[in-house]
């Protein structure tokens, strides 16, 4: 099979109907990319309304390459308008002493990417999705996934929705994963959790003790990270001082629960810099923070269903710890690879397309899952008395940030398809570490 590069295709030109379940970053990207590749798309989302709480998402060059094609650049322009306007990332110890300063070029997407509020990014994606006229069902709960040799679909109550394939992008707690992968997926809580908070800067603007973060930002946004024993605090501003964010990575069990941010204040009570951080953290509105257990587990054995007409993508397939900084990015890569694989294979070979997509994506995401665990261990074990980080991960490895997932599909689809047909393993030629 010879595969030649194509651009966006006319709507519904492929004859393939794709059902996307879940409209987080991966699901929204999958719907948009499938539309771009000429597939008819139907979207289902459990939540009846848009998105609220969340922290920052960093979009790096490997995902930006995909987004640049959306809406003749309109999506990128919207992201640029709302991105964090940073010029440095600063690292401190628990005394507040500056240890590291890393330049950050907010205008260079391929080098440093875009940093946005999660809810803002989803609003931008959703607005673009709606502009394409794609069918969207919200406030619906999928009760069953099913497939035959020639179709797949879901049940929503008594209603049956049918398509040529189903793409489950319903997140880390995916309801479709077990039915699609055939594998129990008991998430394993790590030895850590994370508080995350986002609120309007006006909340603290008049507070003389808490508003230091706004003054620190100056005419740019700011991003400060404080490392102590078993604790990492990140704090900064977003959207040109319009919002304050902070997060606290820790080793306590999130399930123990708390109805306030007091545990965070307890974590840092012995830090000399606590007098600076505590006033800001304590002013967080009750509705604007959460404490979540962090989950990871070994990679699934497979992403594709028995008959090859259903696949999991994004966090449903490969949950990352936030330390990897690649959750949304890899969901976007999944989206582009699945959509293009379907275009190349065509309506008569949908199972081949989904299985090729899995082969092209599996090793890369597994490597990034491993990297996330390494980054977590590093961040929670910083000892400034011994020089800080005992082992430093490369900040911008070429295999991760310079990867072009669309180019990879064009270059490797044929060989991956042969591996599918022959029932053999496949290691992609690009997109994974060389060591």
Q: What are phi and psi of 335, to 5 degrees?
A: -60, -50
What CA–CA distance (Å, rounded) separates 125 from 340? Answer: 19
**Separation in Å, CA 277 to CA 34, 72, 160, 198:** 45, 43, 52, 15
Burial class (CB in 10 A: 0-12, 13-18, 19+), 250: buried
What are the pLDDT tens digits along the chain (435 aa)?
A: 556 677 789 999 999 999 999 999 999 999 999 999 999 999 999 987 755 556 789 999 999 999 999 999 999 999 999 999 888 889 999 999 998 888 876 666 556 689 998 889 999 999 999 999 999 999 999 999 999 999 999 999 999 999 999 999 999 889 999 999 988 766 665 657 889 999 999 999 999 999 999 988 888 999 999 998 888 999 999 998 899 999 998 877 655 556 789 999 999 999 999 999 999 999 999 889 988 877 777 788 999 999 999 999 999 999 887 777 788 999 999 999 999 999 999 999 999 999 999 999 999 999 888 887 777 777 666 767 766 665 555 667 788 889 999 999 999 999 999 999 999 999 998 878 766
Q: What are phi and psi of 423, to 5 degrees?
A: 65, 30
Nearby residues of 319 by Cβ (< 8 Å), 6 or more positions away:
172, 187, 295, 296, 297, 369
Residues annotated catalytic, as ranges: 196
């Amino acid at each position: 099979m010879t595969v030649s590069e194509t651009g966006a295709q006319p709507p519904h030109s492929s004859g393939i109907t794709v059902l996307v379940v879940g409209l987080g970053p991966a699901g929204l990207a999958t719907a948009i990319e499938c539309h771009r590749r000429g597939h008819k798309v139907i979207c289902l989302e459990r939540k009846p309304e848009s998105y609220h709480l969340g922290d920052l998402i960093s979009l790096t060059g490997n995902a930006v390459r995909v987004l640049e094609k959306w809406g003749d650049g309109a999506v990128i322009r919207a992201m640029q308008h709302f991105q964090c306007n940073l010029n440095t990332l600063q690292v401190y110890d628990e005394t507040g002493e500056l240890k590291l300063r890393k330049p950050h070029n907010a205008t260079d997407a391929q080098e440093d990417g875009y940093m946005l509020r999660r809810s803002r990014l989803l609003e931008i994606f959703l607005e673009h999705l709606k502009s394409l006229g794609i069918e969207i069902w919200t406030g619906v709960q999928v009760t069953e996934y099913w497939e035959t040799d020639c179709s797949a679909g879901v049940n929503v109550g008594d209603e049956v929705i049918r398509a040529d394939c189903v793409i489950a992008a319903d997140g880390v707690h995916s309801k479709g994963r077990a039915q699609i992968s055939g594998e129990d997926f008991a998430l394993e809580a790590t030895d850590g959790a994370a508080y995350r908070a986002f609120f309007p800067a006006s909340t603290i603007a008049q507070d003389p003790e808490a508003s230091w973060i706004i003054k620190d930002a100056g005419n740019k946004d700011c991003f400060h990270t404080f490392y102590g024993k078993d604790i990492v605090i990140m704090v900064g501003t977003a959207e040109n001082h319009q919002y304050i964010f902070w997060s606290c990575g820790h080793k306590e069990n999130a399930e123990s629960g708390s109805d306030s941010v007091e545990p965070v204040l307890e974590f840092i009570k012995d830090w000399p810099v606590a007098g600076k951080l505590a006033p800001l953290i304590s002013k967080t509105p009750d509705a604007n923070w959460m404490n979540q257990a962090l989950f990871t587990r070994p990679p699934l054995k497979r992403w594709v269903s028995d008959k090859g007409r259903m696949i999991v993508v994004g966090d449903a397939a490969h949950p990352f710890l936030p330390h990897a900084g690649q959750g949304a990015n890899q969901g976007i890569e999944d989206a582009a690879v699945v959509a293009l694989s379907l275009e190349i294979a065509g309506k008569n070979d949908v199972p081949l397309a989904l299985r090729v997509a899995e082969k092209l994506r599996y090793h890369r995401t597994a490597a990034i899952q491993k990297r996330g665990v390494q980054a977590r261990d590093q961040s929670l074990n910083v000892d400034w008395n011994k020089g800080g980080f005992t082992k430093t991960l490369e900040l911008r490895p070429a295999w991760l940030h310079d990867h072009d997932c669309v180019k990879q599909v064009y270059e490797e689809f044929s060989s991956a398809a042969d591996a599918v047909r022959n029932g053999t393993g496949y290691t992609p030629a690009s997109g994974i570490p060389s060591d």
